[in-house]
């Protein structure tokens, strides 16, 4: 349990709260990505300690997730954004491992299709939100529509400001209707991205992950970081705050995201429904 016998928060809980405070972008403040260290270890000694912590968190998450699934009244959506090779796929693989697959949805947002473009930009995102009782993960999201769309000139600054307003209210509506929104920017250094992209080129098993467009986007590194800074600052709200997770060490990233999920699940405190009446004494023949 997170509380001690005298009702005080346990050392583990205090450590988790401190970690979350480190990651959150306070509403009304800039993300200041340039001042955040992508190689931050968040007070963890090393990979072995990190693995122990993650194993404990994932066991807690599994229990809480089962309760959410059984209760079927609330949902959680984890939004993952970041530069190419920031670890979105790896996060999904690592943090969702062991959870009940029936209680999870994963949406990968690639370039919009002709059908998507015939509608407003939030339609496909809203459509991919998890139903009650489920944890949904978005690999990229509506934030592509204010970051990449601005980079390539699909929208101008005025349109982007309007979209920031839409997004704040869209996420408020989701929250009001029972979907908690957890938004994570996976923050990696330019050097770490270079190493990961090179590994995709050098390792035949990873070739399929590489796209020439990754190098094109890398050429806009500073501009993209600035666009993310602006977008995160404009859309980190009390109801849907942003968290900047240091991503250079994959094990640190996993601990951070599992901590954020356990925290939101604990606040939702889902309850297993009461059983049907009259179960006492039933013998299954």
Sorted by sequence, the CB contacts under 8 Å of residue 85 that are 6+ apart come out as 188, 193, 196, 197, 200, 214
For 245-254, the pLDDT digits (tens) are 999 999 999 9
Among 122, 120, 138, which residue's Cα sits nearest to residue 130?
Answer: 138
Where do the DSSP E strands lie in 48-103? 75-82
Give the mean pLDDT of 122-148: 98
Query: What are the tens digits of pLDDT across the range 32-48?
Result: 999 999 999 999 999 99
Q: Under DSSP, is residue 48 helix (H, G, I), strand (E, B) or coil?
A: helix
- pLDDT at residue 267 above 80? yes
pLDDT, tens digit, for every residue of 198-212?
Answer: 999 999 998 988 988
- pLDDT at site 10: 86
Tell me what the pLDDT averaged over the chain comes to.
94
For 207, residues 6+ apart whose C-beta sits below 8 A from its C-beta are: 200, 201
Residue 74 CA from chain centroid, whole number? 17
DSSP 2: -
pLDDT of residue 9: 78
**What local confidence, expressed as pLDDT, does residue 5 receive?**
56
pLDDT digits (tens, 9 = 90+) for 151-179: 999 999 999 999 999 999 999 999 999 99
Residues 6+ apart with CB under 8 A from 186: 80, 81, 82, 83, 86, 87, 88, 91, 245, 247, 253
Output the pLDDT for position 1. Answer: 47
DSSP-derived secondary structure for 167-228: HHHHHHHHHHTTEEEEEEEEE--HHHHHHHHHHHHH-GGGGGG--HHHHHHHTTHHHHHHHH
Average pLDDT (223-237) is 98
């Amino acid at each position: 349990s997170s509380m001690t016998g005298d009702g005080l928060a346990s050392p583990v809980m205090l450590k988790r709260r401190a970690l979350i405070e480190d990651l959150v972008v306070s509403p009304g403040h800039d993300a200041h990505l340039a001042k955040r260290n992508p190689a931050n270890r968040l007070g963890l000694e090393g990979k072995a300690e990190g693995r122990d912590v993650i194993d404990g968190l994932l066991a807690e998450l599994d229990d809480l997730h089962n309760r959410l699934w059984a209760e079927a009244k609330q949902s959680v959506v984890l939004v993952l954004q970041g530069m190419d090779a920031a670890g979105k796929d790896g996060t999904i693989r690592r943090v969702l491992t062991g959870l009940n697959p029936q209680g999870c949805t994963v949406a990968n947002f690639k370039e919009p299709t002709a059908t998507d473009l015939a509608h407003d930009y939030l339609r496909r995102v809203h459509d991919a939100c998890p139903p009650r009782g489920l944890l949904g993960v978005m690999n990229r999201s509506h934030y592509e529509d204010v970051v990449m769309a601005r980079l390539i000139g699909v929208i101008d600054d005025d349109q982007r400001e309007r979209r920031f307003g839409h997004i704040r209210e869209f996420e408020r509506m989701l929250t009001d209707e029972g979907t908690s929104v957890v938004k994570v920017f996976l923050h990696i250094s330019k050097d770490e991205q270079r190493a990961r992209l090179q590994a995709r080129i050098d390792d035949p098993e990873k070739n399929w992950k590489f796209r020439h467009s990754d190098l094109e986007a890398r050429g806009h590194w500073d501009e993209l970081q600035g666009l993310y800074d602006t977008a995160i600052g404009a859309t980190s709200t009390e109801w849907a705050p942003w968290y900047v997770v240091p991503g250079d060490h994959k094990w640190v990233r996993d601990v951070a995201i599992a901590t954020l999920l356990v925290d939101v699940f604990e606040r939702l405190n889902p309850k297993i429904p009461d059983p049907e009446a009259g179960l006492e004494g039933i013998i299954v023949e």
